[in-house]
Amino acid sequence: MQDIFRHIDDHNDDAIQSLIDLCRLPTVSAQKRAIAETAEHVAALLRALGFETQVLPKPVLSEAEGREGAQTGGRPSGHPVVYAEARGASPRTLLFYDHYDVQPAEPLDLWSSPPFEPALRDGKLYGRGVSDNKGNIAARLAAIRAWREVRGELPCAIKFCIEGDEEIGSPQMEEFVAEHRELLAADACIWEGGGVTWEGLPQVVLGVKGLLYVQLEVGTVNRDAHSSYGTVLPNAAWRLAWALSTIKGPDERILIDGFFDAVRPPTPEERAAIEAMPREDAETLASFGIKEALLGVRGVDYIARHLFEPTATIDGLSSGYEGEGPKTVLPARAMAKMDFRLVPDQDPHDVLAKLRAHLDRHGFADVRVTDLGGEHPARTPVTDPFVRVMRDAIREAYGAEAVIVPAMAGTGPLYPFIQTLGLPTADCGIGYPDAHIHAPDENIRIEDFRRGTKAIAALLGRFGAS
C-alpha cells in the first residue's frame, strides 16, 4: 500500500483544491440552491476517474402516497441522485453513499470567512460542506485516483449513490433505494461521515438515529394587535410557548405519551462497544464553552445518553417583533421548528402521530404540525464480518486500532442500505469533533483529510481481497 499512500501524500494539495472548487457551489438543499449544477459537477469528477454515471430522479409520490403525505402535512419532493459505477479486479462491490447538498449557512455574521469561499487557515479548511459531506466525496475520489494512477485497475468494484437532499431529511430516499435495488446491489456500504475522535483515534460508526423534523405554527387573530389587547385577544406566542412546554420539561423528560414505547435497549455487544470508547465528554463540553452536560451525565453515561437516547429539540422560534428596541405588539402568528432524534425501533410516522395526539390532548389542537421530513433509525451489528475488514484497513492507514461506535447521535439514511439492500454499513471519513458541522465556521484539518483518504484506499484493497 505504500505506493498508493505516497501518491495520496503527493497529490493532497490537488485533492484539497478539488474540494475547494466543490464547496464554492452553495448547494443548500433547504433553499434549493445550485442543485443541478452541483450534481453535474460531481458526476463529471466521477467520469474523469473512469466511472459510468447517471443522474437519476427521486421517485414521484403516487397519488395515494401523496394523499397520505398530505394528511401528515406533506413532504418536499427530492433532488436528483448521482449514481456511478466502475469495475475492479475483484467482483466484490463496495457501495459509497454520500450527499452533495449542504446545510444553510445562516447565521452568516458568525462566520470568520464567507461560507462559500473556502479558506485555508492554520492547517484547516473553512467553509460550508468542507466536512459534511463534500469533504468525504473529495477524499474518496482522491483514494480512487491513487489506485487508478498507481495500479491502473481498481481492487474491487465500486458504486456511488450521492443524493442531493440529505440535509432536508432525505425525502423519498427509501423509495429510491427500493426502486433501484438491483442497480445498487453490493456486498457492503460505506456511508457519508466518519473521522477521528477528540484524541485523534480513527473511529467506525455502525448506525444512526432516525429523525422527525416538524414545524409548529399557531395563528390566533387575523393580524398583529396592539399589545394592550393582551387582556382579551389570544396571543400566538403564548400558545406556542405553552404547547412547547408540554412536550419536554426542564428536567429533560420527553412527555409525549408512548414516545418511548418502541425504543429497543442496546445489546450487550453494543454496551461493551461504548465501554471501550474513549471518554470525550470533557472535550466536547469545553468546545461548547460549558462545564457540565445536561443532567450532569459523564463518562460512559454521557456516551450512552448521547448515542442511545432519543431527543426533542427546538431548532428555531419566530414570532412578533424581533428587531431592535421595544415594539408593543400582540403577535397573531408564532412558529417553532423542532426535531426528534429517534433510536431503533422508533418510527418517524408513529412519533408524528403521537405528537399530534399529545397536542390535541393537552388543549393545543390550534397548533398546526407540518412534517418537514423523517428517517428511520438503523444499526449494523457490531458482530458483522465487514467490521473486521474495516478494523484491518484502518490499522493499516492510521497505525492505530479503530474505535467501534455502535451508533452515532446524528441521522443519515442508513435504514434503506441496512434494511432494504441488506448491506453491512459503516462510515470511514475525514472529520473530527470540532468540525462545526451545521454551524458557522465548519472546518476540516488537512491532516485528517490526508489520513482519511489513505483509510479509504486501504479499505478498497482489503475489501477486494475479502
Subset of residues 289 to 308 that bind a second copy, contact rule: CB under 8 A: 289-290, 293-294, 297, 302, 305-306
Give CA–CA dist 208/7, Å, rounded: 33
Interface region with a second copy, contact rule CB under 8 A, candidates 18-26, 84-92, 197-205, 405-413: 405-413
The angle at the Cα of 365, spanning 359 to 371, to the nearest 5 degrees, equals 70
The grid coordinates of residue 119 equal 479558506
Q: Binder to a second copy among 162, 312, 389, 414 (CB under 8 A)?
A: 312
73 binds a second copy (CB under 8 A): no
438 binds a second copy (CB under 8 A): yes
Q: Which is nearer to a second copy, 411 or 453 (CB)?
A: 411
CB 133 within 8 A of CB 413: no
The angle at the Cα of 81, spanning 77 to 85, to the nearest 5 degrees, equals 160
Residue span 81-120 as binding mask against a second copy, x where in contact by CB under 8 A, dash where not: ----------------------xx-xx--x----------
Alpha-carbon Rg for the chain, nearest whole angstrom, is: 23
198 binds a second copy (CB under 8 A): no
Indicate the SS3 state at residue 394: helix
Q: Which is nearer to a second copy, 3 or 288 (CB)?
A: 288
329 binds a second copy (CB under 8 A): yes
126 binds a second copy (CB under 8 A): no
The grid coordinates of residue 169 equal 431529511
Interface region with a second copy, contact rule CB under 8 A, candidates 116-124, 152-160, 268-276, 437-445: 437-445
- The 3 state secondary structure assigned to 256-275 is CCCCCCCCCCCCHHHHHHHH
Q: Prior bond to 13 cis, omega within 30?
A: no
76 binds a second copy (CB under 8 A): yes
Interface region with a second copy, contact rule CB under 8 A, candidates 56-64, 145-153, 198-206, 436-444: 436-444
Long-range contacts, stretch 260-269, CB < 8 angstroms, 24+ apart:
260/310, 262/345, 262/346, 262/347, 262/350, 263/310, 263/343, 263/344, 263/345, 263/346, 264/343, 264/344, 264/345, 266/304, 266/308, 266/406, 267/381, 267/382, 269/381, 269/382, 269/383, 269/406
Residue span 155-194 as binding mask against a second copy, x where in contact by CB under 8 A, dash where not: ------------xxx-------------------------
CB 335 within 8 A of CB 228: no
| Least Cβ distance, residue 383 to a second copy (angstroms) | 25
Nearest to 165 by CA among 103, 74, 105, 72: 103
318 binds a second copy (CB under 8 A): yes
Q: Binder to a second copy among 27, 411, 420, 443 (CB under 8 A)?
A: 411
Q: Show contacts with a second copy in window 342-401 (CB under 8 A).
A: 363, 372-373
427 CB contacts (<8 Å, ≥6 apart)?
190, 191, 192, 193, 194, 204, 205, 408
| Least Cβ distance, residue 127 to a second copy (angstroms) | 16
211 binds a second copy (CB under 8 A): yes
271 binds a second copy (CB under 8 A): no
Interface region with a second copy, contact rule CB under 8 A, candidates 63-71, 122-130, 409-417, 455-463: 409-417
- Give the length of the chain: 466
Q: Which is nearer to a second copy, 22 or 240 (CB)?
A: 240
Q: Show contacts with a second copy in window 10-49 (CB under 8 A).
A: 29-31
- DSSP letter, residue 432: -
Give CA–CA dist 209/201, Å, rounded: 22
414 binds a second copy (CB under 8 A): no
Q: Which is nearer to a second copy, 334 or 458 (CB)?
A: 334
218 binds a second copy (CB under 8 A): no
